[in-house]
Structures are given as C-alpha cells and as structure tokens.
C-alpha cells in the first residue's frame, strides 16, 4: 500500500500501512494475534489484512484465543531477537495477560541490569460507542502508565497512529499501543509514509491564550469541537494532544499552562485515579500560585461501561460536559 494517491485514510488503514512498512524494512518484525491472517479475514477490524499474503504465515501468525500465550510468546520472541507486534483484540482482555505484561515484559530489562531488552508492541483497541458493554470498552491506560518499564501511547489521528506505530516497533522497550474502536472508521489526513512520530512528545493542535484543553485518543476530537465553539464566544483555547501517556510530555503541558493559567483535562477513562489526576497533581506542584483556577478534570463515571445506549452516552465525557468544565474554570 502507498499513500502517494491517498489524501485521507482511517486509523485501521494507517495501522495496516505501518505494520506493512515495518515488516518490509526489518525481517525481525513479526505479528501475532487472534484471526489476524488472511485466511481468517485479516483481523476482526482488518488492521492486518493482506499482511500474511505478502509476508507469509511464518511472520503473521494467527493464534488461539489465549492472551497469556500471545503475550508470553511475544515476550520470548523479543528476548530472542525479534520485534513482535502482539494484538490483544480488546483492551479488557489484557487483564488475562497481566502477569506477562507487568511482571515479564515491563521488568526484564531491569532484572537483567539492562543486559536484555524487550522490543515488543502490544496493540489493543477499546472505546465506548458500540454497546459492547462493561467487559469490552474500558480505557485502562492509567494501569499501564503506572507500571515502570512500559511506554503507553494513544493516537487520535491516522497520521499519528502510523508514525507512533513505527516508533513503537523500533523502540527497544515494550509499548502498549491503544487504538480507539470508533475512530477506526473516521477518515483523517494520511500520514507521510516512513515518517515516525516521537514517543513522549505531545502535539499542540491549536494555539490559544485563555485556557488549555488537554486530551488524547477519541476525546481529543470532542475537545477540538469544544475549542471551535469557544472561539465563537471569544475564548481562545489552546488544545494539546498528549499522543503519549507514558512518558508524559510535561514540558509542553507546563509551557501552555503558564501561558493560559487555566487547564481542563478530558479523557474517556474514569476520572478517579486517571491520567488527568496525574497531570493536575504535577501542574499544581510546578505552578503553585500561578494558576488562575484549579485544574478541571472531565472523564467517565466510576462505573462499568453501560450496555444501554442512553446510559453509555451519559457515561462518556460529552462535549456539553467538557464545555461546562471550561466555563466553570473561566469563572
């Protein structure tokens, strides 16, 4: 696949292109997961379509429904010199493989005094909006960000999904790559083929002077829409896309917060103990006395993701809730 003739693509296509390009560049890159080979349809979301036909089933391996085995095999392959990309179909299913992720992938570099690396990517998707219920749509990024040794990324656009995937594949440490299910099908600007997005570097989507709005993944699109509406009210909002949860780009966040003096952080994960809480704590420590208002946090309710559509809609951070937090902060 080439982006030469494509101005738009969705995140599923961007992931597919990144995997294709990485596998073409380096024979040590392998992909494994449930139903990912073409004979099973190229993955439930088609992110791996065509790869097994191009690179063979020796490098694109469909696995049993066994998350422990998928991640365990990927960790072993990484230690043996491969660069595995393991697909865990939905983020809730990472819970089945937490021992392999937290006690093995994240810690082996430390436990060997830096003698071994685990160049591993765990791809997974999540996100409310399709009525998949409480065991299929949780955002659990704070769990993994809390684990030393893991890098955690959550792209919001096809270009970032492509560039971050390339960076993660060729990083020597394990990366958790979080894809948003509803965004799979939303077109966006196509990436520049071969261009990597650095891990740990946020993006200033829109500059502003009155308030800083921070988000990532799907909620970034809600925040951007709110920022456009605020402009009609005469409010200049700066919008930051974190892109990477761990390591966190505090330099970009602090620069913006110093300028505006007001900050709202919005994410789809639960508010309690979330990424917004970490950002708020750091900002209040670093800018004590400089902020014009307390940092506001907007996120999901402390509840399993509801199956009921009206409840699911109320569960996630809507534009209305984000706007209300902005207005409260501007007071």
Task: Give me the active site residues, please.
Answer: 136
Place of tokens 């810690």: 107
Q: Are 269 and 217 in contact (CB under 8 A)?
A: no
**Measuring CA to CA, how many Å separate 69 from each of 28, 57, 140?**
20, 18, 21
**Residue 80 neighbours by CB under 8 Å, 6+ apart:** none
Phi (first) and psi of residue 326, to 5 degrees? -65, -50
Residues 20 and 14: their CA atoms lie apart, in Å, by 10
Residues 109 and 118: their CA atoms lie apart, in Å, by 7
Within 13 Å of residue 263, how many CA atoms lie on the same side as its CB? 27
β pairing state of 121-126 and 175-180: parallel
């Amino acid at each position: 696949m080439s982006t030469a003739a494509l101005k738009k693509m969705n995140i599923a296509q961007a992931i597919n292109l990144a995997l294709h390009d990485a596998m073409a560049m380096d024979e040590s890159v392998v992909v494994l997961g449930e139903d990912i080979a073409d004979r099973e349809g190229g993955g439930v979301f088609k992110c791996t379509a065509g790869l097994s036909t191009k690179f063979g089933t020796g490098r694109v391996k469909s696995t049993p429904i066994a998350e422990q085995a998928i991640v365990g095999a990927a960790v072993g392959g990484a230690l043996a010199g491969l660069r595995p990309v393991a697909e865990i179909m939905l983020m809730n299913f990472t819970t089945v493989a937490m021992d392999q992720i937290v006690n093995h992938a994240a810690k082996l570099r430390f436990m060997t005094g830096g003698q071994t690396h685990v160049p591993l990517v765990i791809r997974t998707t999540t996100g409310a909006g399709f009525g998949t219920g409480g065991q299929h749509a949780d955002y659990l990024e704070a769990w993994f960000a809390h684990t030393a040794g893991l890098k955690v990324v959550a792209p919001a656009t096809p270009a970032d999904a492509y560039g971050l995937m390339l960076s993660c594949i060729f990083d020597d440490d394990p990366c958790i790559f979080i894809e948003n299910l509803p965004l799979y099908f939303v077109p966006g600007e196509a990436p520049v083929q071969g261009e990597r997005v650095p891990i740990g570097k946020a993006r200033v989507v829109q500059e502003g002077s009155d308030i800083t709005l921070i988000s990532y993944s799907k909620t970034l699109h809600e925040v951007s829409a709110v920022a456009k509406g605020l402009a009609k009210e005469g409010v200049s909002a700066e919008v930051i896309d974190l892109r990477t949860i761990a390591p966190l780009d505090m330099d970009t966040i602090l620069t913006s917060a110093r300028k505006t003096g007001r900050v709202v952080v919005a994410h789809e994960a639960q508010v309690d103990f979330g990424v917004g809480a970490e950002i708020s704590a750091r900002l209040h420590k670093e800018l004590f006395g400089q902020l014009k208002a307390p940092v506001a946090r907007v996120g999901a309710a402390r509840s399993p993701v509801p199956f009921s559509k009206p409840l699911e809609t109320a569960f996630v951070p809507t534009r209305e809730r984000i706007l209300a937090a902005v207005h409260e902060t501007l007071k």
